[in-house]
Structure 1
């Protein structure tokens, strides 16, 4: 079969796409695929209708367009997330350089400065979910970066608990949409096979922040100024950089594959065709209340909530109190900052290693369960080893082992993103997930208090229990997704289709598709990919566990 056959360009319309998997994999020219692309449907349909044809996806054009997408999107996403995590971490860095003493923070004041960011994000999530459906993605992200950069810069002038609290509150509001937007961008641009590594790559900026951010802060800490305290220099420096990056985001971040200026018309069609087998759609600006209802009634939405809640409690506590925990081992301020660098390196390796393993296994649940084990061991070490100068090495080792936990969060993001369809449902489900993350991060720092130094027994013990609970929740969610796949098999049989379908979104383009006996597997001819159906409504949807 020719991979570059003549493309039919007739203007006839039909209600459904008809395309066999043999045409997609071997490069056979597709039949006319024109549809009634009403404003309420996915914008991908409108682009195909305007072009007059749909293209054929081949390994060659898939690789070429994917490379273009990566080169444009990843530098922007990585830069934004690096700055977001760096800006959040400025509080813990500032605590090492005298913020607690200068601002007269006592009791749980410092803990609440860590929690209020997530409390603001929690309250703002319903608004974020709506805006992500209605507002172009690139403009939304640029505005968010600009406003949180201004908020961080304003912390330079805050020298009291009240002033710092207000600034941190606005920082949380303007950062509230970043993670949901990044998840939406990943769903909008990447096949499900590609999502774990892309999600992992921007989330891995947590580890880079702990390395690079610690070194930058180490340098800033040596600046002697008669005007600013060291912690004020930290706030101002990173705030101004964030404001500058917002301009680049506005200029270069595309809103969607259907409007991206860095892709020509043929490449836009390839970008859309790449996502057909995701069965998740690409972009629709209609808010659908039936999707909202389904997201709230879907048990897996609450599994995502529970998973994120459970991992975010220890994450919030360790992020806020990590440098103070290291300092409690008997190190001075500058050494404490430097010793955070290996913590970041372990985070980076765990995050990208977990993403790679999930891609290789084509399963996320088993990888998540595996990543729970090192943090459990690390918590046990910090709880059982005596905190004195003679045990600095083992204590640091325990702290670094705990730092595997950041690899868990992006895989939960990816797990949720891969198992939800329908434009509004995707945004609402992500909102529910982020609410769980925010609640966990609000609670996390409150389990630690400066009065408990150097042992931090209550915080570490609660973290240990939560990592164990997380392991159990992962297994339960895997079981539930298996049940949903069985239900969709029954629905396909009732609709006259084959019970078993191959999830091509989890295979390389051009890979041979066979069943367990090595026989070719027939793909459904009725294509629901761009009808803005939810995963419940679309019997062709395959859940990934």
Structure 2
């Protein structure tokens, strides 16, 4: 490759780089060749991106998490009794959501780039908001079960789509902070869900509907209204972002495409043209399947607490309204910690130490829950254990997603790989939906024990990933340069000798 000059931040100052030949897997648009980016202020550009992208993404995910988890709030407001459901039937309604949610994530992520984020994300949002609204008028177990199936279909594309969308704008060392900012919306959703459910439940009897029905109806309508706004406020790609100047667009595009090999001294661009081979590569990549155990070690506790936290707290002897309100400080604290941990992780350029530490906190939290529940008569200690566990879950989750996305290249493999990681990983929700059985209340020792078991396995997976990444990076350091052409390295993506895994 031609020599390039850099600013103090390590990013290219100018673009004297020759445009690759089309047969060479050309991926850098020729209109950016020779664009002078010497006047670009990196901090200013990142701030502009943050202000234009993150608030809407956070709002979308807040509503997504609110709509999938509000069934837990509806339960303690009388859903089960009203529909004459048994405990196992309620658990099935939670479980089936994850079957369809998992099934549709990979095709949804592939469609995201083909159909443009500004069209695809709001469209699926309208769909799930409609399903959520209609869930408020179901009359029996079968109706609720079918509604939850369709909710899984329509929500499938949101989280993996947004997580992948962030990688289309931010480099590897910037991604976790942004992932955490929008994912912390899930924490806020947990807090907001309790407050909102507490307020909406006061509408019991209005229009002849029970309070739990109004939770679904009003939150579904809110989702549809926000989706309509999202059609006009979501930006597609850096190449077409009108809020950036031409030099700023060139700077963003260039650094994204060369980020994987920047530190190795060989500038090899990531491939962005579509091949089915990239999708097959994602399905056969070892790191995704080892990463799934890490994902399950975080997501089993995540869904276990989000779906059952109000019920767990109520079973400790608190009233329904108090149980709703006691979830608020837990989620607010978790949101703050998620952003703080992400900031330190990006600054250090490390993922595994922060994920490992947070997962240790999850394990400690459930150990406290088990000990306090087994002893009995210590609701405060159980609450403290749940508090600690949730404060470990929410910082760990964006770190786990970011770590895998950091180590997948190029664009379409990353899209498919992230969808597999998140989609199959979310089957943990199907498992966690059955951990906390009505017959085990109020101690829920089986549920807490199963969560602890998954955390332990997840910790082993973190160690395994770190060790393998280090081993492969070491081998690549010893490989002679120039073994493959730039085009071959581009097509190989993260399997190229020039690529270095993030640890």
Structure-2-length-normalised TM-score: 0.91
How far 1:88 sits from its partner (Å)? 1.3
Out of 37, 42, 56, the position equivalent to 1:62 is: 42
Out of 464, 467, 471, the position equivalent to 2:452 is: 464
> Is the counterpart of residue 222 in structure 1 residue 181 in structure 2?
no
After superposition, residues 507-522 of structure 1 pair within 5 angstroms as: none
Judging by fraction of residues, say which structure has more helix. 2
The residue that corresponds to 1:252 in the other structure is: 233
Out of 69, 75, 78, the position equivalent to 1:98 is: 78
Partner SS, residue 385 of structure 1: helix
How far 1:388 sits from its partner (Å)? 9.0
The residue that corresponds to 2:101 in the other structure is: 121
How far 1:99 sits from its partner (Å)? 0.4
Query: How far apart, CA to CA, are the structure 2 residues paired with 1:377 and 1:29?
Result: 51
Query: How far apart, CA to CA, are the structure 1 residues paired with 2:13 and 2:102?
Result: 49
> Is the counterpart of residue 188 in structure 1 residue 168 in structure 2?
yes
Distance of aligned partners of 1:245 and 1:22 in 2 relative to their CA distance in 1, 3 Å threshold: closer
Query: How far apart, CA to CA, are the structure 1 residues paired with 2:57 and 2:440?
Result: 38
For residues 220-267 of structure 1, give each alpha carbon's deviation from its aligned partner in whole angstroms, at most 9, with x where no partner exists. 122241422111111111111110111121112111111223223232
Partner SS, residue 53 of structure 1: coil
How far 1:476 sits from its partner (Å)? 0.9
How far 1:344 sits from its partner (Å)? 0.5
The residue that corresponds to 2:52 in the other structure is: 72
Partner SS, residue 409 of structure 2: coil
Out of 326, 330, 338, the position equivalent to 1:339 is: 326
> Is the counterpart of residue 535 in structure 1 residue 494 in structure 2?
yes
How far 1:18 sits from its partner (Å)? 4.4
After superposition, residues 440-519 of structure 1 pair within 5 angstroms as: 440-491=428-479, 493-495=480-482
Q: Does structure 2 retain, via aligned residues, the 8 Å contact 1:24–1:57?
A: no
> Is the counterpart of residue 410 in structure 1 residue 391 in structure 2?
no
How large is the Cα RMSD of the aligned pairs? 2.6
After superposition, residues 195-210 of structure 1 pair within 5 angstroms as: 195-210=175-190
Distance of aligned partners of 1:397 and 1:27 in 2 relative to their CA distance in 1, 3 Å threshold: closer
After superposition, residues 22-421 of structure 1 pair within 5 angstroms as: 25=10, 29-31=14-16, 33-36=18-21, 41-42=26-27, 45-46=28-29, 49-56=30-37, 60-224=40-204, 225-279=206-260, 284=272, 286-386=273-373, 390-404=377-391, 405-421=393-409
How far 1:530 sits from its partner (Å)? 11
For residues 390-434 of structure 1, give each alpha carbon's deviation from its aligned partner in whole angstroms, at most 9, with x where no partner exists. 522222111211112122111111001111111221122112202
Query: How far apart, CA to CA, are the structure 2 residues paired with 1:161 and 1:101?
Result: 11
How far 1:337 sits from its partner (Å)? 0.2
Q: Does structure 1 retain, via aligned residues, the 8 Å contact 2:361–2:388?
A: yes
Q: Does structure 2 retain, via aligned residues, the 8 Å contact 1:18–1:33?
A: no
The residue that corresponds to 1:512 in the other structure is: none
How far 1:529 sits from its partner (Å)? 12
Q: Does structure 1 retain, via aligned residues, the 8 Å contact 2:173–2:347?
A: no
Query: How far apart, CA to CA, are the structure 2 residues paired with 1:304 and 1:132?
Result: 23
Query: How far apart, CA to CA, are the structure 2 residues paired with 1:264 and 1:529?
Result: 32
Partner SS, residue 34 of structure 2: coil
Query: How far apart, CA to CA, are the structure 2 residues paired with 1:490 and 1:133?
Result: 36
Query: How far apart, CA to CA, are the structure 2 residues paired with 1:529 and 1:240?
Result: 50
Distance of aligned partners of 1:28 and 1:113 in 2 relative to their CA distance in 1, 3 Å threshold: closer
Distance of aligned partners of 1:24 and 1:85 in 2 relative to their CA distance in 1, 3 Å threshold: closer
The residue that corresponds to 1:11 in the other structure is: none
For residues 22-78 of structure 1, give each alpha carbon's deviation from its aligned partner in whole angstroms, at most 9, with x where no partner exists. 697497544253333579743xx22xx1255233366x5212221211111011101
Q: Does structure 1 retain, via aligned residues, the 8 Å contact 2:13–2:36?
A: no
Distance of aligned partners of 1:114 and 1:41 in 2 relative to their CA distance in 1, 3 Å threshold: farther
Query: How far apart, CA to CA, are the structure 1 residues paired with 2:471 and 2:320?
Result: 52
Q: Which stretch shows the higher mean deviation, 29-38 or 188-197? A: 29-38
The residue that corresponds to 1:510 in the other structure is: none
Distance of aligned partners of 1:361 and 1:456 in 2 relative to their CA distance in 1, 3 Å threshold: same
Q: Does structure 2 retain, via aligned residues, the 8 Å contact 1:308–1:436?
A: no
Query: How far apart, CA to CA, are the structure 2 residues paired with 1:375 and 1:131?
Result: 35
Q: Which runs of 5+ in 2 are unaligned?
A: 262-268
Q: Which runs of 5+ in 1 are unaligned?
A: 1-15, 498-525
Q: Does structure 1 retain, via aligned residues, the 8 Å contact 2:294–2:459?
A: no
Partner SS, residue 208 of structure 1: helix
Distance of aligned partners of 1:459 and 1:287 in 2 relative to their CA distance in 1, 3 Å threshold: same
> Is the counterpart of residue 19 in structure 1 residue 1 in structure 2?
no
Q: Does structure 2 retain, via aligned residues, the 8 Å contact 1:23–1:30?
A: no
Q: Which stretch shows the higher mean deviation, 270-279 or 141-150? A: 270-279
Q: Max radius of gyration: which structure?
A: 1
Structure-1-length-normalised TM-score: 0.85
Query: How far apart, CA to CA, are the structure 2 residues paired with 1:484 and 1:23?
Result: 29
Query: How far apart, CA to CA, are the structure 2 residues paired with 1:27 and 1:434?
Result: 33
Distance of aligned partners of 1:171 and 1:420 in 2 relative to their CA distance in 1, 3 Å threshold: same
Distance of aligned partners of 1:453 and 1:476 in 2 relative to their CA distance in 1, 3 Å threshold: same
Distance of aligned partners of 1:26 and 1:401 in 2 relative to their CA distance in 1, 3 Å threshold: closer
Query: How far apart, CA to CA, are the structure 1 residues paired with 2:202 and 2:285?
Result: 53
Query: How far apart, CA to CA, are the structure 2 residues paired with 1:71 and 1:529?
Result: 37
